[in-house]
Amino acid sequence: MHATTTETHAETHAETHTGTHTCAGCLDRRQLLQRAGAVTAVAAGVAVLAACGGSSGGSSATPGADGSLAKVADIPVGGALAATDADGNKILLIQATAGVVTAVSAICTHQGCTVAPGKGALVCPCHGSTFDLTGAVTHDPATEPLPTVAVHVKDGAVFSGAA
């Protein structure tokens, strides 16, 4: 018995590959690093801008000026109200004319007692000095006026510092 097996395996491989590979979206390592640097620089720039952006607030730098000292409605027209400014100093808020608020130091220029609101005047309880609503002396022994304190009104409330 003869058995002859002849296998022929014909394989046709007709693959055509140009070997050229282009990728528009691909970056080599160098390009990648350059881009990363640019992104970092932009991010840093944004951070600098952000840091500069938030501090353009009010003209007064008085610490604690974010809280009001009193409501305008609480200050008698033609009179005064004792208060404490943002620095903790005793002051008198004065509303000589409705809606117009001024302030003076409440420390008597005679010997330093605390001046209190009176009827249309400011009165020192220690030795009887009196002041008008501008802080000017109207009765001795004080001879110097009460120093003016800067305040401003915003939304019906009084704040330390100039407007």
Among 69, 124, 133, 137, binds ligand FES (CB under 6 A): 124
Task: Tell me how far apart the alpha carbons of residues 135 and 158 are, in angstroms, rounded to a whole number.
Answer: 18
Q: CB-based contacts of 38: which residues, under 8 Å, 6+ apart?
A: none
- For residue 142, state whether it binds ligand FES (rule: CB under 6 A): yes
Among 31, 34, 111, 148, binds ligand FES (CB under 6 A): 111
- For residue 127, state whether it binds ligand FES (rule: CB under 6 A): yes
Specify the residue, 110 or 149, whose C-beta has the smaller distance to ligand FES: 110
Among 68, 102, 105, 129, binds ligand FES (CB under 6 A): 129
Output the six-digit token pair for 8: 């022929």
Output the six-digit token pair for 33: 């690093």
Alpha carbon distances (Å) from 76 to 58, 66, 98, 118? 28, 23, 9, 11
Q: Which residues bind ligand FES (CB under 6 A)?
A: 108, 110-113, 124, 126-127, 129, 141-142
